[in-house]
Amino acid sequence: MANLIAYYSRAGENYWAGSMKTLAKGNTARVAEYIQQAVGGDLFELETVRAYDPAYMACIEEAKAELRENARPELKALPRSLDSYDTVFLGYPNWWGTCPMCVFTFLQSFDFAGKRIIPFCTNEGSGMGRSERDIAAACPGATVERGLSVLGHESERAQATVAVWAKRFA
């Protein structure tokens, strides 16, 4: 069985080590690629139909409103099936202590019973937050492993760390 590496990532203006920085590639996308290089698998980027505001501060306010509303933003696409995957590496930035709501759109689109979900997130100091518990609650019957938290501003230099972590699940 193969690995799926599904992730939501934000390029453009991001909070970065105490200030704002414009990123050509989102931190979570970079970490997802490191996982693929380390253990193989199919990459699948979660993309919302309605884009978030390009200004970071406005984006996180949108994310806070979605969290309050328990929204499920529509995704541009979903994998056809997860049948050929027994392990799903799931990546996201930590927004307001958990996954962006579009990640829950993905999770609630499939039955993850019997699958292993391995979360990873990028953040600037908030770690995994409650995301692991929230993923487990959204995916009854799945095994949710302990995730990896990567500081966004360190993501460019985290390839070795990510590889060691990912290989534990191979």
Q: What is the CATH number of the domain that holds 70?
A: 3.40.50.360
Query: What pLDDT score was predicted for residue 155?
Result: 97
Cα separation, 40 vs 87, in Å, equals 11
pTM for this model (two decimals)? 0.97
Query: What pLDDT score was predicted for residue 93?
Result: 97
Give 74-110 pLDDT, tens digit per residue.
999 999 999 999 999 999 999 999 999 999 999 999 9
Structural domain including 86 reads 2-167
For tokens 């609650």, the residue is 137
Looking at the 3D structure of the chain, how many domains does it have? 1
Q: What is the DSSP string of 13-75?
A: EEEETTEEEEESS-HHHHHHHHHHHHH--EEEE--BSSPPPSSHHHHHHHHHHHHHHT--PPB
Give 125-144 pLDDT, tens digit per residue.
999 999 999 999 999 999 99
